[in-house]
Amino acid sequence: MPQKKTNIILIGMPGSGKSTIGVVLAKSLAMEFTDTDILIQMDQQKTLQEIIDGQGHMALRRIEENVLLKINCRNHIVATGGSAPYSHPAMNHLGRDGIIIFLHADLPALKSRIHNYETRGLAKRPDQSFQDLFDERSILYKKYADITVKTSSHTQDQVCDDIILQLDQSPFIPLTSRLQREFNTIKAMVKLYCNEHHETEDIICNECSELVEYSRDRLLCCPFQEKKSTCGKCVVHCYKKDMQKKVIDIMRYAGPKMALKHPLMAMQHFIDSRKKPPGLSAHAGNSRTKLNSK
Ligand code: SF4
């Protein structure tokens, strides 16, 4: 059985739409979004062009590789810089938990979108034409792509629909919107708990991240899927004992704080909790039913 991958990695030429499509896709799939060009700029406290001007285009590629190798996230859309596929280690790293999608725009479309080729912060040789760059990088994008989606003559919505259609046939397993909502709520509660109890400021520690990922796996196997009430009202309780205890402790601590910190999420969770939990008969015969605690 193929390994489930939880991230979507967008690659492609500058102007192919990685950042804009990434945001739209993140909204459609209720995932988080990361733009690695922004990570590089935050890491270096310089724009991409300033890095090239001061240290050269190869330095930018090395910095990019380091930033990509540090990415450790799940359930994210990651828009990479156009030069990401020059690094084999970085692409291998991203591909371990990510489906790699090549946003393919043809040369005339790209030329019509890029008007600042020389100052855009592209990691290219100083003498390299746009055509040369396109030819060189197209080979690399095709090499690493799990999925290729054409973007030249498509609207953003059409590109997103195409991606979602192709993801259905890939080892990527997105949560449905109801399950995603539950997952986001659990994650927010774990973060509140972790920041307070494990002295983490704006991140979740490794141990708590394990619980977050465990809860995601449980949701993926949830026999009730879209019909589920909140896990707290479930008649099955598919969590194994130690994880169940951890999650109860966290809910007790973070639950009362949610209304203040995440009022919309708290209200939606309250509405979800009012749903009558389905009984065992509701999922009898469902091939995805897994009642054993794992
Ligand atoms: S089976 Fe119950 S506890 Fe497990 S994910 Fe579904 S609703 Fe939550």
Domain co-membership, 163 together with 198: no
Higher pLDDT, 151 or 281: 151
Domain co-membership, 128 together with 232: no
Higher pLDDT, 265 or 101: 101
Closest atom of ligand 1 to CA, residue 228: 7
Domain co-membership, 43 together with 104: yes
Domain co-membership, 14 together with 158: yes
**Contact between residue 170 and residue 149 where contact means Cβ atoms under 8 Å apart:** no
Closest atom of ligand 1 to CA, residue 231: 8
Q: Give the model's confidence band at 282: pLDDT under 50 very low, under 70 low, under 90 confident, else very high.
A: very low
Evaluate: CB of 183 within 6 angstroms of ligand 1.
no
Domain co-membership, 135 together with 34: yes
Whether residue 67 has pLDDT greater than 90: yes
In a domain, 291, yes or no: no
Whether residue 220 has pLDDT greater than 70: yes
Whether residue 284 has pLDDT greater than 50: no
- DSSP code at position 172: B
229, 237, 291: residue to mutate for ligand 1 pocket, most atoms within 8 A of CB: 237
Evaluate: CB of 231 within 6 angstroms of ligand 1.
yes
Q: What's the CA-to-centroid distance between 22 and ligand 1, angstroms?
A: 30
In a domain, 292, yes or no: no
User: In terms of residue numbers, what domain contains 147?
Assistant: 7-167
In a domain, 108, yes or no: yes
Evaluate: CB of 282 within 6 angstroms of ligand 1.
no
**Contact between residue 152 and residue 106 where contact means Cβ atoms under 8 Å apart:** yes
Domain co-membership, 136 together with 222: no
Side by side, which strands form the sheet with 32-35? 32-35, 76-79, 7-11, 98-104, 147-150
Q: Give the model's confidence band at 2: pLDDT under 50 very low, under 70 low, under 90 confident, else very high.
A: low
Q: What's the CA-to-centroid distance between 215 and ligand 1, angstroms?
A: 9
In a domain, 124, yes or no: yes
Closest atom of ligand 1 to CA, residue 229: 7
Provide the 3-class DSSP secondary structure of residue 112.
helix
CATH number of domain containing 119: 3.40.50.300
Q: What's the CA-to-centroid distance between 221 and ligand 1, angstroms?
A: 8
Position 279 scores a pLDDT of: 59
Last residue of a domain, one of 167, 201, 232: 167
Position 120 scores a pLDDT of: 82
Evaluate: CB of 218 within 6 angstroms of ligand 1.
yes
Place of tokens 């990361």: 34
Position 226 scores a pLDDT of: 80
Whether residue 286 has pLDDT greater than 60: no
Q: Give the model's confidence band at 288: pLDDT under 50 very low, under 70 low, under 90 confident, else very high.
A: very low
**Contact between residue 9 and residue 80 where contact means Cβ atoms under 8 Å apart:** yes
Place of tokens 């060189």: 136
Position 273 scores a pLDDT of: 86
What is the average pLDDT score of the chain?
86
Closest atom of ligand 1 to CA, residue 230: 7
**Span 150-177, average pLDDT:** 81
Position 177 scores a pLDDT of: 72
CB atoms within 10 A of CB 232: 13
Domain co-membership, 96 together with 69: yes
For the chain, the domain total comes to: 2
In a domain, 41, yes or no: yes
Domain co-membership, 155 together with 191: no
Evaluate: CB of 294 within 6 angstroms of ligand 1.
no
Domain co-membership, 209 together with 263: yes
In a domain, 84, yes or no: yes
β-sheet bridge partners, residue 122: none
**Contact between residue 124 and residue 137 where contact means Cβ atoms under 8 Å apart:** no
Evaluate: CB of 221 within 6 angstroms of ligand 1.
no
Whether residue 281 has pLDDT greater than 80: no
Domain co-membership, 124 together with 42: yes
